Amino acid sequence: MERNTLVAILLSAALLFTYQALFVAPKPLHTLNKSQLTQKNEVINEENIKESQPKKLNETTTSEVKKTDDYTIKTHKSIFSFSKVGGLLHNTKFLGSNPLPLTDVISLSGFGNVVFKGQQIDNKEVSFFYQDKDWKITKTYQIKDQNTLSVRMEIKNISEISILKNFVFKSFKIDDSNLLSQNNRENNLDEYSVYLHKGFLVRRDNATKFNDKNNLSKSAKIGWVGFRDHYDAVIIKPEFDTAACDIKSESDKKLSIYIKAPEKKLGPGESVVYNFSIYAGPQDRWLMKKYGSGFENIVIFSKYWIYEWPAQLIYHAIYIFHLIFKNWGIAIILIGITFYGLTYPLTMKSMLSMRKMQEIQPKIKALQERHKNDPQKAQAEMMEIYRREKINPMSGCLPFLIQMPFFYALLQIMWRAQYFQGQHFLWIKDLTQPDRLIILPFYLPFVGNEFNILPIITGGLFYLQQRISSKNVVVTDEQQAMQQKMMMYILPVMMTFMFYKFASAWALYFLVYYSLATTTQWRLSKRPKT
């Protein structure tokens, strides 16, 4: 059972992470274009917002204009850069992370390429102003706390006639066109979503390549529009009732999400104000929940419920352990002990069943030789032996089936749970990174210049467990003995290399789990055979 479980885990991990973890370089920064605009106050052939009939939600008329970082405001966790072109939030970067591939945050349709006048009030507020013969637009971005910004947009009709208008706002554009490498394990975690007040309208992971299949137009009252990467998230919440949402793929590297406001008629001199809230911070469910807008729903670990519900259970259990013991490393150790303890009865039952199966192998082998020309009779007598010895051949599969969703959930949590980010434990400086006991002055194939001790110890423990369990194996032929010996060496080596560059949180958990499994196997080996 233990071997079967590990093989399944190794295969799952291999499909998800191994190639990227061992062979792909770290995610490079998004290159930011710093070219300057040649005419600061020019309107770039943009459509006039005044129109007798509303145009399509995502209609554009000109090519995109390069944007610069003209103003910057900061918190102790993040940096927000704004551009006069469109008067919008142009770049978002969380300290210690790469910039998000987001731009054009809260851009007013029809005015994304015009140059606004700008003013930075202080390190917490930036305002933009634009006026033509028909419209006067004022936009203000203000930091409210370390994780949120407020946006106020006032649109005033300064023409001499009444105008009926559907105002459209681009929540943000995902732009991966400047990403130097698209083949990276981090990119698979990029995800955009549109949340209604009772659930998701759309949720798309691996959001780095787009096509027309991603396009969507839906009448809906939008709760928020969000984007997340490995540990952080940006969420745009309209503080007004919305009429529709539109998702448009602009190229294979660009996708925009639009929000449409209800139809509004403005007489001469009348104005309308649209307010937005922006959450830009860590994917911390407890922090997000304080804002009372459902932001915490962006934090999931799998789109399949069979993995998601155990993931949420484990995710909250680790958090509770941390509240009690004030240490994330101890919380991981305790979740390993708890999980093993809960599965111990099934594990022991499986081990005993496997042991009985091994003990009767000589009888099975003799029976097969005796009835080699009559497979049906051999099968019938084999089942009679199982009945007489009270052995269920399928009993070893039950623990495996029960544990697999939990193991997969654990893998996801240890890899992407934000609360491990930057957390120390013993010599480990960051539980989301390999333990890096020693940094070598040279590079080795597959290993690099890091000496990570946790995967090595865990692989050694698994080898020891295999060695102990082999004492209970009854070998009936030479080929089986050879296979058994090969597996004893190959599986621990596979395990060590596969997890060598994983997060140390996962390696620590596995170390605890297999320490307990090896102890159980040793105790079982001391029991007299029946």
Q: Give residue-wise pLDDT tens across range 392-440.
A: 666 666 666 777 888 888 888 888 888 888 888 999 888 888 888 887 7
pLDDT of residue 360: 72
The model's pTM is 0.77
Would the pLDDT of 361 be above 50?
yes
Average pLDDT, stretch 217-243? 92
Higher-confidence residue: 382 or 275? 275
Buried b (16+ CB within 10 A) or exposed e, 220-238: bebbbbbbbbbbbbbbbbb
Q: Give residue-wise pLDDT tens across range 91-133.
A: 888 887 778 889 999 999 989 889 999 888 888 899 999 999 9
Give the single-character DSSP code of 110: T
Q: Give residue-wise pLDDT tens across range 499-513.
A: 787 788 888 988 888
Would the pLDDT of 148 be above 60?
yes
pLDDT of residue 353: 72
**CATH (residue range 71-299):** 2.70.98.10
Higher-confidence residue: 29 or 279? 279
Q: Give residue-wise pLDDT tens across range 132-143.
A: 999 999 999 999
Would the pLDDT of 15 be above 60?
no
Would the pLDDT of 382 be above 70?
yes
When mean pLDDT is compared over 173-187, 231-245, 362-376, the highest value belongs to 231-245
pLDDT of residue 135: 92
pLDDT of residue 29: 35
pLDDT of residue 186: 67
pLDDT band per the 50, 70, 90 thresholds, residue 295: very high
Run of H or E residues at 141: strand 135-143
> What percent of the chain has pLDDT above 90?
30
Task: Please check whether residue 168 is in contact with residue 261, taking contact to mean a CB–CB distance below 8 angstroms.
Answer: yes
Higher-confidence residue: 220 or 346? 220
Q: What is the DSSP string of 201-258?
A: EEEEESTT---GGG-EEEE--EEEEEEE-SSEEEEEEESS---EEEEEE-SSSEEEEE
Q: Give residue-wise pLDDT tens across range 27-51.
A: 333 333 333 333 333 332 333 333 3
pLDDT of residue 480: 60
pLDDT of residue 19: 37
Token pair listed for 523 = 């105790």
In the chain, what are the domain boundaries? 2-24+306-358+394-525, 71-299
Of 61-65, 67-71, 113-117, 250-254, the range with the lowest mean pLDDT is 61-65
Would the pLDDT of 472 be above 70?
no
The gap from C-alpha 14 to its chain's centroid, in whole angstroms, comes to: 17
pLDDT band per the 50, 70, 90 thresholds, residue 485: low
Locus of tokens 């930036």: 126
CA 190 to CA 355: how far, in whole Å? Answer: 46
pLDDT of residue 185: 61
Would the pLDDT of 471 be above 80?
no
When mean pLDDT is compared over 91-105, 265-279, 355-369, the highest value belongs to 265-279
pLDDT of residue 407: 81
